[in-house]
């Protein structure tokens, strides 16, 4: 049986794992596996913005899950562009980046919906929505 607590924990660890995967992929891609220049590239610094939300995800902060679900689209776009334009092995790494981005987005949305859904109370149509 999937209780909301188990679902929240599952989505939380899926988000953390996919974020860590993106960080490792960004570093490995630009430093070892397919750097733009031999010996590594400054593009490895793209992993730094991914390190910022890691603490918030580990502390289970709902706000972090919300903004990470928006941040991840920048990395998704990079993956799409590089999957189209890079040669092997860069295009395969870009496809992996796309998959990790989709996984992270899905985990964040799943986590937010589960946590907010567990707090919902039935309301009548006349009850106004709370202010944001």
Return the pLDDT at 126: 61
| Model confidence at 131: pLDDT above 70 | no
| Highest mean pLDDT (candidates 32-36, 115-119, 122-126) | 32-36
Q: Which segment of 1-5, 68-72, 107-111 scores lowest on mean pLDDT?
A: 1-5
As a whole number, mean pLDDT of residues 57-84 equals 95
Query: What is the residue-averaged pLDDT of the chain?
Result: 88
The per-residue DSSP string of the chain comes to ---HHHHHHHHHHHHHHHHHHHHHHHHHIIIIIS-SSTT--GGGGGGHHHHHHHHHHHTT-HHHHHHHHHHHHHHHHHHHHHHHHPPTTHHHHHHHHHHHHHHHHHHHHHHHHHHHHTT-----TTSPPPP-
């Amino acid at each position: 049986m999937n209780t909301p607590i188990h679902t929240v924990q599952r989505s939380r660890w899926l988000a953390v794992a996919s974020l860590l995967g993106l960080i490792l992929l960004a570093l490995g891609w630009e430093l070892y596996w397919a750097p733009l220049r031999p010996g590594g590239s400054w593009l490895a610094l793209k992993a730094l913005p991914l390190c910022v939300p890691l603490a918030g995800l580990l502390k289970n902060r709902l706000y972090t899950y919300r903004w990470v679900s928006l941040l991840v689209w920048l990395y998704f776009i990079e993956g799409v562009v590089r999957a189209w334009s890079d040669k092997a092995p860069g295009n395969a790494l870009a496809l992996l980046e796309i998959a990790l981005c989709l996984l992270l987005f899905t985990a964040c949305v799943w986590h937010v919906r589960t946590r907010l859904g567990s707090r919902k109370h039935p309301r009548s149509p006349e009850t106004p929505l709370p202010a944001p």
